[in-house]
């Protein structure tokens, strides 16, 4: 890496955020690009284009967006960065990337702005008008309420919750909790009247003003007065922020980004009014979070094959406590890196158990002929007609219940993006510890 290049250094956990962006942006661009002549990705705090993670350059959100230019789907990109030094590095990074990928002719589809996104947002919204747009707001703590309101106002006209606007929002709840509890003992009305202020009072006044801009009012203070535990404060700060987002968006999916020790670093929130978009991000969020859980319990920080090691550790711990089909189900949970809800199952597993049951029924009826030397028939290798989906789901549910009774799976209440309560099954983390 060139010593003159100024790339911001990030922790390993940043990959979770980039995975979510890298998964959703291509799908969004493909679906929207086929239907609309022009659509936009607006990166409000684009940085330098690359993130430095463990001394390696990793494409940031700006270059993840630029990668889609090769498909020529009428995508326009707006990159905003107020820091002059970072902005110059961003321009250089984008130009070099486009040259290396033979896309330099697409540079005209990218608009660069060396401005504060809060000050230029009116101009940007005027340029994109009613076009379908995806915003990425990757700030240090959280975007101010005024910025969200201006972008969110696109969803209110001509009717509430109009589709076509989606946002990825960086929300640093641990940061807000740390500084919020330090200034909760001060009253802002007293601070603005008092002069001179001590160093602590000046700091408290500055943070109170910052938090008021983020939440739009002083409602955040009620969280600190009502809850004393850090975990409770973080959860309710997130709920409060999402509640304010629900003025403009029906669905919200928060990704909890943690380091390899399991410590929460921040939330990355996706908001939309389109159910299919919500569903895509919701599934990917589940995969990323279960990956993070496995990494935390499987020899922390060491590079390893996630599926092989977690499977080996899990079944070594369980030994003979489970049946063959229960073992199959746990293997699939690890393979698809997801957990399950009682009323929402992964389609891959639905198909697998439908085919598995069909093969067994056919085998009992002596309708299956195995090749010479073949002992079993893989449900993936033989094309068969599906049996009743209800039968497969009932069998699936029964396996989940058995594993739950054995305390191999755990179950917890969750709230989805539309405010509905459901039960979620997930692998008991103690069975994923190497030294169980």
Q: What is the pLDDT of residues 375-417, one digit of tens each?
A: 554 544 444 444 454 566 677 777 778 888 888 887 776 655 4
What is the widest separation between alpha-carbon atoms in the chain?
92
Is the confidence at residue 53, as pLDDT, over 90? no
Strands 251-258 and 165-171, by their bridges, are: unpaired
CB 323 within 8 A of CB 401: no
Confidence (pTM): 0.69
The domains found in the chain, sorted by start residue, are 8-173+218-297 (3.40.50.150), 306-432 (no CATH)
Query: Both tokens of residue 304?
Result: 């390893």
Residue in 340, 331, 249, 259 with CA at minimum distance from that of residue 296: 259
- In the numeric block, which tokens belong to residue 77? 């990109």
The CA-atom distances, in angstroms, between 118 and each of 32, 164, 244, 306, 368 are: 27, 21, 18, 41, 67
Which of 4-8, 72-76, 80-84, 182-186 bottoms out in mean pLDDT, i.e. has the lowest?
A: 4-8
Label residue 43 by pLDDT band (50, 70, 90). very high
For residue range 182-211, what is the model confidence (pLDDT) as tens digits?
888 888 888 888 888 888 888 889 999 999
Task: Write out the two tokens for 84.
Answer: 């002059």
Mean pLDDT of the chain: 79
Residue 9, pLDDT above cutoff 70: no
Count of CA atoms in the C-beta half-sphere (13 A) of 393: 11
In the numeric block, which tokens belong to residue 274?
A: 């389109």
**Is 318 within 8 Å of 431 (Cβ atoms)?**
yes
The pLDDT of residue 39 is: 94
Mean pLDDT over residues 423-431, rounded?
Answer: 72
Judged by DSSP in three states, 391 sits in helix
């Amino acid at each position: 890496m060139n010593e003159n290049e100024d790339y911001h250094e990030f922790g390993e956990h940043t990959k979770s955020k980039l995975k979510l962006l890298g998964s959703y942006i291509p799908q969004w661009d493909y679906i929207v690009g086929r239907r609309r002549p022009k659509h936009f990705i607006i990166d409000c705090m684009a940085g330098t284009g690359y993130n430095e993670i463990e001394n390696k350059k990793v494409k940031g959100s700006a270059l993840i967006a630029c990668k889609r230019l090769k498909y020529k789907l009428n995508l326009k990109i707006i990159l905003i960065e107020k820091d002059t030094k970072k902005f110059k590095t961003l321009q250089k990074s984008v130009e070099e990337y486009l040259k290396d990928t033979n896309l330099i002719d697409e540079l005209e589809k990218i608009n660069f702005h060396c401005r504060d996104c809060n000050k230029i947002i009116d101009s940007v919204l005027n340029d994109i008008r009613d076009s379908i747009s995806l915003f990425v707001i990757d700030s240090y703590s959280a975007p101010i309420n005024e910025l969200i309101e201006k972008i969110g106002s696109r969803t209110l006209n001509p009717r509430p919750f109009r589709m076509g606007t989606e946002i990825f929002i960086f929300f640093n709840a641990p940061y807000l909790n740390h500084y919020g509890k330090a200034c909760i003992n001060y009253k802002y009305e007293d601070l603005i009247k008092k002069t001179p202020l001590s160093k602590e009072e000046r700091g408290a006044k500055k943070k109170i003003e910052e938090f008021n801009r983020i939440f739009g009012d002083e409602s955040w203070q009620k969280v600190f007065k009502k809850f004393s535990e850090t975990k409770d404060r973080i959860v309710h700060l997130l709920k409060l922020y999402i509640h304010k987002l629900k003025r403009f968006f029906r669905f919200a999916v928060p990704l909890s980004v943690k380091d390899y020790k399991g410590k929460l670093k921040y939330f990355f929130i996706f908001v939309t009014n389109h159910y299919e978009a919500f569903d895509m991000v919701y599934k990917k969020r589940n995969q990323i979070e279960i990956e993070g859980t496995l990494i935390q319990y499987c020899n922390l920080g060491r590079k390893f094959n996630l599926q092989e090691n977690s499977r080996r550790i899990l079944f070594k711990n369980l030994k003979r406590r489970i049946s063959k089909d229960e073992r199959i189900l746990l293997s699939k949970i690890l393979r698809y890196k997801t957990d399950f809800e009682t009323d929402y199952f992964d389609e891959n597993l639905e198909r697998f158990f439908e085919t598995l049951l069909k093969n067994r029924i056919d085998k009992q009826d002596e309708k299956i002929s195995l090749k010479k030397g073949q002992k079993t028939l893989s449900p993936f290798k033989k094309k068969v007609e599906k049996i009743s989906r209800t039968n497969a789901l009932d069998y699936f549910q029964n396996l989940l219940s058995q594993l739950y009774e054995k305390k191999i799976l755990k179950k917890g209440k969750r709230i989805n993006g539309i405010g509905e309560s459901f039960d979620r099954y997930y692998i008991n983390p103690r069975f994923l510890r190497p030294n169980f």
